[in-house]
């Protein structure tokens, strides 16, 4: 079974400082990789995804993540955070379920980012 490890459960950071959230996964086969964000009292929203192609993927709100196959990592970064980035961030790996339609996401434990003024 796949596993996803997010090493940091909480990351406090000052506004306008950079932040990096670490994610490592266990699969040795081709997978899809995702970062989801969960704001307080809301469901998960897709932040960005890696499916194939360029190993550096970006979101519309300044986040980026780099797929590193040799290190089985997909770390998330933002060079300058805002107060509004306070949320919980989940890394996930996708497997097709038996090759049929539908897919299985395995999530990491989440990293709670608290941006301080």
Q: Which is nearer to other proteins, 26 or 103 (CB)?
A: 103
Residues of 60-91 as b/e, b for ≥16 C-beta within 10 angstroms? eeebebebeeeebbbbbebeebeeebbbbbbb
| Residues within window 86-115 making contact with other proteins, judged by CB under 8 A | 90, 94, 96-98, 100-110
Distance CA 100, CA 82 (A): 41
Q: Which is nearer to other proteins, 71 or 103 (CB)?
A: 103
For other proteins, the binding residues (CB under 8 A) are 4, 32, 34, 36, 41-46, 49, 51, 90, 94, 96-98, 100-110
């Amino acid at each position: 079974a796949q596993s996803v490890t997010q090493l940091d459960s909480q990351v406090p950071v000052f506004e306008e400082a950079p932040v990096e959230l670490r994610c490592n996964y266990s699969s040795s086969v081709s997978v899809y990789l995702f970062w989801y964000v969960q704001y307080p009292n809301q469901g998960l929203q897709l932040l960005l995804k890696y499916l194939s192609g360029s190993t550096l993927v970006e979101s519309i709100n300044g986040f980026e993540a780099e797929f590193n196959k040799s290190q089985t990592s997909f770390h998330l970064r933002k060079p300058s955070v805002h107060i509004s980035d306070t949320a919980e961030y989940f890394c996930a790996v996708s497997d097709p379920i038996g090759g049929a339609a539908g897919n299985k996401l395995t999530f990491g434990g989440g990293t709670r980012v608290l941006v301080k003024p």
